[in-house]
Amino acid sequence: MDDALTIVSELLTNAVLHSGTTEIRLTVTHQDDFLRIEVYDGQEGSIQPKSANDSDQSGRGLTIVESLVQENDGKWGVSDDGTTVWCLLAAHQEES
């Protein structure tokens, strides 16, 4: 769950800082054995992780998302028009 919260935080932060829009939509759904997270900002464009230098104060958001998604047996991507970033994480059930 912590990884999902970090992913949501990073995706929302990226949308706020880089989209220039006043409307951002977060959708979280549970499908089969997966948690689907989507952040829509309505701004078309190319979204890709970039390499940040050690001294950079920012620029690691999508790299963090990519790493956490891989650690959780998931997938992530961007809609064809670039308005939505999504990820799919395995929804692990906790034992009682």
Note the pLDDT tens digit of each residue in 12-34. Answer: 998 888 888 889 999 999 988 89
- 3-state secondary structure (DSSP) of residue 85: strand
- Per this entry, what is the length of the chain? 96
The structure's pTM equals: 0.78
18, 74 Cβ separation under 8 angstroms: no
pLDDT of 40: 94
Q: Which domains does the chain have, with CATH numbers?
A: 2-90 (3.30.565.10)
Phi (first) and psi of residue 82, to 5 degrees: 80, 10
- Residue 37 to residue 8: CA distance in whole angstroms: 7
Q: Which tens digit of pLDDT belongs to each residue from 76-92?
A: 999 988 889 999 998 87
What are the tens digits of pLDDT across the range 48-59?
555 555 554 455
To which H or E segment does residue 52 belong?
Answer: none
Contact yes or no for 10/61 (Cβ under 8 A): yes
